Amino acid sequence: MEEKNRIEGKKEILFLTHSNVEHGFYSRKQREYIVNGIITEYSKISNEYNLIVKIHPSSEKISDYESIIKPINPEIEIIQKGHVLDYIEKADVIITYSTSTAPKQAILYKKPVIICNFFNLKNDPLIERDLAYDCKKLEELVSIIEKSQKSSLITEEKLNNFVNEYFYKADGKAAERFCKIILEITNQT
């Protein structure tokens, strides 16, 4: 699939969903609004981009997404199986509506990430650190996609700061720091 789209000159959008309904953060109606809106906006640029929808591997039902997406565009591929990093690596831009792990991984690949923040969720670490685009209105999505392909929010400095702060340090001492924190907590009780 990827080679065909690259030959046709299409860039790849990876739409990462998250089990916000299943975890009680969104209603089904809110999820339907988000997914329906993203697919509808995508149709405006489908001649330039290919869209793949990657849903959560265990917490979501593929049939829920098929019922929303297929009536709008039956050609869109909806995937549940497979490792998300394989899809992130091939994508040109990532769209999501969650603060899950996958968008943070996409940042490590230096992929542009667009957080569809239509319900004004707070405290997204990628938005707060200016590492992801904050899309507050559906009608802004296409222009943000196009903008993400022209310039990058991710600089080495911002990425290094994020990794050091969020993932801490890759120095092989994470377990030691973790144990120290546990000991500090247990000594306080």
Q: Estimate the share of the chain in helix, then strand, then coil, as percent rounded to the nearest 5.
A: 50, 15, 40
Written as six digits, the tokens of 88 are 């992130």
Q: What is the pLDDT of residue 56?
A: 85
The CATH number of whichever domain residue 10 belongs to comes to 3.40.50.2000
Q: Return mean pLDDT, the chain.
A: 85
With 90 as the cut, is the pLDDT of residue 87 above it?
yes
Quote the domain boundaries for residue 26.
Answer: 2-154
pLDDT exceeds cutoff 50 at 83 = yes
Residue 60: what pLDDT?
84
Query: CB atoms < 10 A from the CB of 47, how many?
Result: 9
Per-residue model confidence (pLDDT) at position 1 = 43
Report if residue 63 sits inside a domain.
yes
Tokens of 122: 């707070």
Per-residue confidence (pLDDT) for residue 69, from 0 to 100? 96
In the predicted structure, residue 5 carries a pLDDT above the cut 80: no
Q: What does the pLDDT read at residue 162?
A: 84
Tell me if 160 is assigned to some domain: no
Asked if residue 171 belongs to a domain, the reply is no
For position 179, what pLDDT does the model report?
A: 76
Length of the chain: 189
Sign of torsion, CA 186 184 161 109? negative
**Residue 165 belongs to a domain:** no
Separation of alpha carbons 42 and 144, rounded Å: 12
- Asked whether the predicted pLDDT for residue 90 surpasses 50, the reply is yes
Residue 90 token pair:
């091939």
Q: Is the model's pLDDT at 27 over the cut of 90?
A: no
Q: Which residues share a beta bridge with 133?
A: 114
Mean pLDDT of 7-11: 78
Number of domains in the chain: 1
* Choice among 1-10, 51-60, 119-128, 134-143 with the minimum mean pLDDT: 1-10
Please give the residue that has the higher pLDDT: either 121 or 68: 68
Q: Is residue 166 part of a domain?
A: no
Instruction: Tell me if 113 is assigned to some domain.
Output: yes
pLDDT of 91 above 80:
yes
What mean pLDDT comes out for the span 86-90? 94
Average pLDDT over residues 41-54: 95
Q: Give me Rg for the CA atoms of the chain.
A: 18
Residue 92 covered by a domain: yes
Rounded percentage of the chain residues whose pLDDT exceeds 90: 51
